[in-house]
């Protein structure tokens, strides 16, 4: 690749910048909303343990694979698999599938992200006694409001992306990630001062192994793929902007650890907060089934009700901070989802970054507007692109790397930045996992998911 090519594609400015950008991609609604509600639904700490195994045994090796493929080829997912396979149509499908999943996941993710912004405003209007406006802003089924906020969110994302890799993505995530972590710590500390929070803590750290079944393992693996941003080439794309000095295994370890830590911390916030709400008189368990309310109800009904119970300036500030936190976490994730199709247009069609970002932005925003009015589509999109799409992508990445490119060739790339990795235990273990353990586990889970859906 020539220097001119490199300059037009962009690259990361610093090691920490790359790690924060990848962690920003990973940390999102999946951590702060998805993980805690899954823990609450699935036997508390038992889910956390299984989730941990999924992240370490499957997520982490696949992340190393994505970084490596990205850095070696210096391309978007389609270009990467084309170059590695000598233009095989089958291999390119893996890349195309990634681009499609990126567009589709982004389109429903935008609607969810729009809800978080809506609720920031809801808390403001509620504080000023404008309950009618507040109610509209908090109405998840309000098509026009949803559409407006989704488009607004897309606009922010596009504006950051058009700034380029180091001046746009890296700069934004370097600013946002520390703010996000600080907000999370402040909120969690505050919740622990409120009555009822200890019941939540107890539920969170007490494992109930009676709930562990195949269903739970499926949810945990699906959650790991989504939360770590794997399976669709987002991290291939981020890896393609790396220089040869970065230690890919260490970077993936930092990103996985940050993602896990933030998810666990978010659980320490959300689950105690639910019980604080219950203490204040809000129902958190469905009286008919005895099960916890669904994740949407918990985050967008129960929590706002608790903020309103707290009342006054404190309630408003906590509410605003919480939904801003969710929104910022979502923003660093939508950036990575959009960057995949954008890098595809830049690399493959020589399009300018600005034009690529706005074109894809408009297409995705249009799909998001449809979903805004028809929110029941979200479940369908989640099943196809998230529950099936990501593990399928991950499986193809493992198979391609393990049986076509070969782990020993990948290790030659990983060696840049990690001298001696071929003989180091981490390199050996990684080869074993990426060729055997990961594909077998993912294939089992994928088959069970598909069987469950059709039966």
Among 336, 343, 375, 431, binds ligand TRP (CB under 6 A): 336
CA dist 356 and 342 (Å) reads 5
What gap in Å lies between CA 124 and CA 385, rounded to an integer?
A: 35
**Per-residue contact track with ligand TRP, 216 to 255, x per CB under 6 A?**
----------xx-x--x-x---------------------
Q: Which of 73, 188, 256, 333 binds ligand TRP (CB under 6 A)?
A: 333
Instruction: State yes or no: residue 29 binds ligand TRP (CB under 6 A).
Output: yes
Residue 368: CB atoms within 10 Å: 24
> Is the Cβ of residue 99 or residue 105 nearer to ligand TRP in the bound state?
105
Q: Compute the half-sphere exposure of residue 357: CA atoms within 13 Å on the CB side of its CA.
A: 21
Per-residue binder mask for ligand TRP (CB under 6 A), 390-429, x = binder: x---------------------------------------
Kindly provide the b/e burial profile for residues 421-437, where b requires at least 16 CB atoms within 10 angstroms of the residue's own CB. beebeebeebbebbbee
- Closer to ligand TRP at the Cβ: 93 or 429? 93
Nearest to 226 by CA among 297, 330, 325: 330
Span near ligand TRP by CB under 6 A; candidates 42-50, 298-306, 330-338, 365-373: 330-338
Q: What are phi and psi of 207, to 5 degrees?
A: -75, 140
Q: In terms of CB distance, is 26 or 183 closer to ligand TRP?
A: 26
Give dist(CA 160, CA 156) in Å, integer.
6
DSSP string, 304-360: HHHHHHH-HHHHHHHHHHHHHHHHHHHHHHHHHHHHHHHHHHHHHH---HHHHHHHH
Give me 377's structure tokens.
């589509």
Q: How far is the CB of 99 from ligand TRP (least distance, A)?
A: 12
Q: Cβ 101 to ligand TRP, closest distance in Å?
A: 7
| Measured CA distances, 286 to 117, 127, 292, 453 (Å) | 27, 28, 6, 25
Per rule CB under 6 A, is residue 25 in the interface with ligand TRP?
yes
Nearer to ligand TRP, 28 or 43 (CB): 28
Q: At what angle do helices 248-279 and 425-432 cross, to 10 degrees?
A: 70
Q: Which stretch binds ligand TRP (CB under 6 A): 23-31, 119-127, 193-201, 285-293?
A: 23-31
- Asked if residue 245 lies in contact with residue 13, where contact means CB atoms within 8 angstroms, the answer is no
Residue 73 CA: distances (Å) to CA of 392, 417, 426: 22, 16, 23
Question: In DSSP terms, which residues pair with 207 in a beta bridge?
Answer: 44
With CB under 6 A as the contact rule, the residue among 20, 21, 23, 26 that binds ligand TRP is 26
Work out whether 372 is an interface residue with ligand TRP (CB under 6 A).
no
86-94, 329-337, 345-353, 431-439 -> range binding ligand TRP (CB under 6 A):
329-337
Binder to ligand TRP among 23, 31, 120, 413 (CB under 6 A)?
A: 31
Residue reference for tokens 């009822």:
196
Q: Which of 17, 30, 239, 417 binds ligand TRP (CB under 6 A)?
A: 30
Binding mask 102-141 for ligand TRP (x = CB under 6 A): ---x------------------------------------
d(CA 105, CA 381): 7
Answer for the pair 37, 229: CB distance below 8 angstroms, yes or no: no
d(C-alpha 94, C-alpha 77), whole Å = 8
Check residue 375 for interaction with ligand TRP (CB under 6 A): no
Tell me whether residue 238 or residue 418 sits nearer to ligand TRP (CB atom): 238
* Nearest to ligand TRP of 50, 101 (CB atom): 101
Give me the least distance between CB of 22 and ligand TRP, in Å please.
10
Half-sphere exposure of 416 (CA within 13 A, CB side): 13
Pick 93 or 291: Cβ nearer ligand TRP: 93
Q: From 26-34, 43-51, 73-81, 291-299, give the range in contact with ligand TRP by CB under 6 A.
A: 26-34
Binding site for ligand TRP (CB under 6 A): 25-26, 28-31, 105, 226-227, 229, 232, 234, 333, 336-337, 390
């Amino acid at each position: 690749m020539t220097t001119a090519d490199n300059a037009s594609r962009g690259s990361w400015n610093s090691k920490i910048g790359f790690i924060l950008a990848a962690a920003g991609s990973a940390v999102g609604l999946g951590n702060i909303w998805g993980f805690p509600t899954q823990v609450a639904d699935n036997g508390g700490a038992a889910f956390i343990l299984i989730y941990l195994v999924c992240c370490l045994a499957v997520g982490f090796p696949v992340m190393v694979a994505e970084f490596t493929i990205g850095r070696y080829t210096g391309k978007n997912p389609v270009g990467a698999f084309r170059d590695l396979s000598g233009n095989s149509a089958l291999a390119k499908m893996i890349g195309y599938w990634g681009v499609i999943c990126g567009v589709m996941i982004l389109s429903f993710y935008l609607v969810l992200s729009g809800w978080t912004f809506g609720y920031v405003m809801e808390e403001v209007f509620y504080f000023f006694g404008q309950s009618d406006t507040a109610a509209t802003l908090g109405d998840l089924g309000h098509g026009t409001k949803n559409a407006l906020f989704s488009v607004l969110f897309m606009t922010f994302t596009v504006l950051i992306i058009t700034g380029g890799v180091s001046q746009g993505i890296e700069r934004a995530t370097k600013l946002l990630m520390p703010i996000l972590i600080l907000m999370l710590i402040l909120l969690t500390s505050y919740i622990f001062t409120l009555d009822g929070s200890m019941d939540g803590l107890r539920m969170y750290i007490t494992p109930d192994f009676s709930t562990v079944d195949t269903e739970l393992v499926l949810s945990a693996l699906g959650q790991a793929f989504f939360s770590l941003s794997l399976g669709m080439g987002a991290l291939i794309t981020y890896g393609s902007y790396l220089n040869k000095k970065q230690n890919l295994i260490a970077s993936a370890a930092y990103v996985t650890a940050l993602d896990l830590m933030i998810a666990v911390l978010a659980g320490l916030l959300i689950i105690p907060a639910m019980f604080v709400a219950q203490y204040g008189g809000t129902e958190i368990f469905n009286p008919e089934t005895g099960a916890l309310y669904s994740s949407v109800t918990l985050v967008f009904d129960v929590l706002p009700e608790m903020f309103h119970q707290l009342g006054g300036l404190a309630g408003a500030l906590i509410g605003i901070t919480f939904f801003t936190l969710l929104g910022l976490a979502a923003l660093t994730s939508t950036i990575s989802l959009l960057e995949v199709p954008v890098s595809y247009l830049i690399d493959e069609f020589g399009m300018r970054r600005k034009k690529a970002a706005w074109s894809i932005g408009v297409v995705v925003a249009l799909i998001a507007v449809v979903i805004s009015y028809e929110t029941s589509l979200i479940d369908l999109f989640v099943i196809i692109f998230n529950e099936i799409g990501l593990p399928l992508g991950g499986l193809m990445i493992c198979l391609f790397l393990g049986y076509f490119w070969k782990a020993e060739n990948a290790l030659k790339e990983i060696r840049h930045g990690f001298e001696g990795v071929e003989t180091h235990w981490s390199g050996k273990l990684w080869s074993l996992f990426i060729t055997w353990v990961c594909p077998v586990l993912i294939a089992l889970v994928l088959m069970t998911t598909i069987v469950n859906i059709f039966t």
